[in-house]
Amino acid sequence: MNSTDNMQIAINKIQLYESVPFGILLSVVGGFLDAYTYICRHGVFANAQTGNIVLLGIHASKGEWKQALLYIPPILAFIIGVIVVEMIKKSSPRLFVFDWPRAILILETFILFAIGFIPQKFPDIIVTVIISFVASVQVCSFCKLVDTAYATTMMTGNLRSFSQAIYKAVTGKDRASAIRAFRYFIIVLSFIIGAIVGGIVTLIFGVKAIWGSVILLLCPVILTRCARAKDKKEVK
C-alpha cells in the first residue's frame, strides 16, 4: 500500500466521522444520556454545562456556597474532557490505535459500561461528573457535520443553525441551505428519539439502563471498523 492509498483511506475515514449517519448515531446517544441522568439522577442534565454555570451563580448570589460548589465538579470534568481529547489526538499514533476518533468511541464505551455498576445509593455527583466528562469528549471530538459545525450532546446550537439555514433556503431559494437545514433537522430529531428511548429504558431498568447507550455506541464503532475494512479492500 503506497502513500496515495494511505491518504485515500484517511480521507474516507474523515468523511465517515463527518457523515450524517454517524452524526445520527451519536445524537441518539446524546439524547439517551440526557434522559438517563435526568430520570435516574434526580433531575440533572450532564451533557451541557450552561445550566450548571447558571445554577452555580444563582446559589452563590444567595450565599449558598455549599450548594454552589456542587456544580463545579461537572464543569471541571467537562474541561478535563476537552484536554483529554487534545491529548488523544496528539498521541494517537504512539498509542497504536488506528485513528483517534475510534479511540474516543472506545473510551466512551468503556466508561459508560462502568457507570452501570455504580449503585443508585451512590451520590449523584459521581455519575454526573463522569457523564459530563464523556459528553465533553464526544462533543469536542465530533463537531463537524459534512461541511458545517454541530453538536451531538446539546441542541441549542443546532437549532440556531437549522433556523438560519431555513431562513436562507426560503428567502434566497438556496438549495444548499435547504440541504443543511434538513441535516440539522435530522440531528435534532435523532436527539429527541434518543431521549425518548433513554427515558423509557431508564424507567424500566433504572441504573443499568446506561448500558443501552453502550449498545448504541457500539454501532459507530462497528461502522468505523467496516469502513476501514472496505477501504483496505478497495485499495488492494
What does the pLDDT look like over 125-168, one tens digit per residue? 888 889 999 999 999 999 999 989 999 999 999 999 999 999 99
Residue 15 forms part of a structural domain? no
- Residue 27: predicted pLDDT: 95
Instruction: Tell me the pTM.
Output: 0.84
Please provide the average confidence, as pLDDT, over all residues in the chain. Answer: 84
For residue 225, tell me if it sits in a domain: yes
- First-residue to last-residue Cα distance in the chain: 7
pLDDT at 31: 93
- Domain-embedded: residue 10: no
pLDDT value at residue 10: 46
Q: Is residue 129 part of a domain?
A: yes
Task: Tell me whether residue 5 is in a domain.
Answer: no
Q: Apex CA 135: angle with CA 131 and CA 141, to 5°?
A: 145
Query: What is the structure's pLDDT at 145?
Result: 93
Q: Which residue range(s) make up the domain with 127?
A: 21-146+154-235
Distance between CA atoms of residues 31 and 140, nearest Å: 16
In a domain, 11, yes or no: no
Q: What angle do CA 129, 135, 139 make, to 5 degrees?
A: 150
Least confident of 118-127, 161-170, 226-235: 226-235
DSSP tally for the chain: helices H, then strands E: 10, 2
How many structural domains compose the chain? 1
Residue 212 has pLDDT above 50, yes or no: yes
Report, as an integer, the average pLDDT of 2-11: 45
Q: What is the pLDDT of residues 11-29, one digit of tens each?
A: 455 578 899 999 999 999 9
230: confidence class by pLDDT, cuts 50, 70, 90: low
Residue 138 within any structural domain of the chain: yes
What the block records as the C-alpha cell of 169 is 433556503
Q: Is residue 73 part of a domain?
A: yes
CATH code of residue 141: 1.20.1250
Is residue 228 pLDDT above 70, yes or no? no
What is the predicted pLDDT for the residue at 232?
Answer: 55
Give the Cα separation of 135 and 52 in Å (integer): 14
List pLDDT tens digits, range 47-94: 778 878 888 899 899 999 988 888 888 889 999 999 988 888 777 555
* Calpha distance 234→236 (Å, rounded): 6
- Separation CA 140–CA 107 (nearest Å): 14
Confidence of residue 7 (pLDDT cuts 50, 70, 90): very low
The CA angle 21-26-32, to the nearest 5 degrees, is 130
Q: How far is CA 129 from the centre of its chain?
A: 15
Q: What is the pLDDT of residue 124?
A: 81
Is residue 146 left, alpha or beta, with left meaning phi > 0 and alpha meaning psi from -120 to 50? left
